Amino acid sequence: EVQLLESGGALVQPGGSLRLSCAASGFTVSTNYMTWVRQAPGEGLQWVSVIYSDGKTYYADSVKGRFVISRDNSKNTLYLQMNSLRPEDTAVYYCARDDYFKDTGYYYSRHWGQGALVTVSS
Amino acid sequence: DIQMTQSPSSLSASVGDRVTITCRASQSIGRQLNWYQQKPGKAPNILIYAASSLQSGVPSRFGGRGSGTDFTLTISSLQPEDSATYYCQQSYTSPPFTFGPGTKVDLK
């Protein structure tokens, strides 16, 4: 059974840093596309970042240069390193395992974690 | 980046009603369109991918149509457990894979 468990959410001051973890079980992180999506309180979903199985990474413009997505194959864990945090980064952060169909290019987030709350405030 | 819009932003309907939500992309995305359902305090759940492919385990009352820039999600007979917010997402070519703003569906 596929399971994703986020951790690391906390209250942090503006300008601070935080690292979120997403521990996976039931599949191998390194052979899948893995995504971070966030949701500010009372707001909609915002796509944040993805790491492909070949290691390529992509970011939303709003976090580019401040956030880094990575994975530890030995721990089967996905990470999101968040630096220079701003109040507008306050959100629940979800990690997700994506399904990707190579022949058609169809792609979606199939399995989701329960979310980790990050609050950026002084 | 591709922008996504949804309409309406919210709706109220009765059990058994047919409900349709519209999603529009700012440029053609082929059929690279997903629909998610999210209930309060829970993670999103994939309903439909590739515009019209029903994810395994999702009730057949959910259906998706469209291609290019215009897409619809239809619930053929609204059930109490369908009260949720619905999001479309484009997954065309390369990231960022933007979401629409969401449509909140309430029961009358």
| SS3 (DSSP) at B18 | coil
CB contact under 8 A, A61 and B99: no
CB contact under 8 A, A47 and B53: no
CB contact under 8 A, A37 and B44: yes
- B101, closest residue in chain A (CA to CA): A44
Residue A102: what pLDDT? Answer: 87
What lies within 8 Å, CB to CB, of A120 at 6+ separation is A12, A13, A14, A16, A85, A86, A87, A88, A89, A90
User: Which residues share a beta bridge with A81?
Assistant: A19, A68
Above 90 in pLDDT, residue B93? no
- List CB contacts (< 8 A) between A59 and chain B: 95-96
Residue B59: what pLDDT? Answer: 98
- List CB contacts (< 8 A) between B87 and chain A: 44-45
Above 90 in pLDDT, residue B25? yes
Cα–Cα distance measured from residue A106 to residue A111, given in angstroms and rounded to the nearest whole number: 16
Cα–Cα distance measured from residue B33 to residue A15, given in angstroms and rounded to the nearest whole number: 36
Inter-chain Cβ pairs, chain A and chain B, closer than 8 A? 68
Above 90 in pLDDT, residue B79? yes
- List CB contacts (< 8 A) between B102 and chain A: 44-45
Cα–Cα distance measured from residue A63 to residue A70, given in angstroms and rounded to the nearest whole number: 15
- How confident is the prediction for chain B on average, in pLDDT? 97
- List CB contacts (< 8 A) between A44 and chain B: 85, 87, 99-102
- pLDDT means over runs of 10, chain A (122 residues): 98 98 98 97 98 97 98 98 98 97 90 98 98
| Mean predicted confidence (pLDDT) in B38-43 | 97
Of B2, B58, B73, B91, which to mutate for an interface test with A (greatest number of A Cβ within 10 Å)?
B91
Q: In what order do the strands lie in the sheet with B62-67?
A: B4-7, B19-25, B70-75, B62-67
The torsion of the CA quartet A37, A6, B82, B73, rounded to 10 degrees, works out to 30
Give the DSSP per-residue string, A22-78: EEEESS-GGGS-EEEEEE-TT--EEEEEEE-TTS-EEE-TTTTTTEEEEEETTTTEE
* Contact present, B102 and B11 (Cβ < 8 Å): no
B95 vs chain A: nearest CA distance in angstroms? 6
Residue A105: what pLDDT? Answer: 85
| Mean predicted confidence (pLDDT) in B24-47 | 98
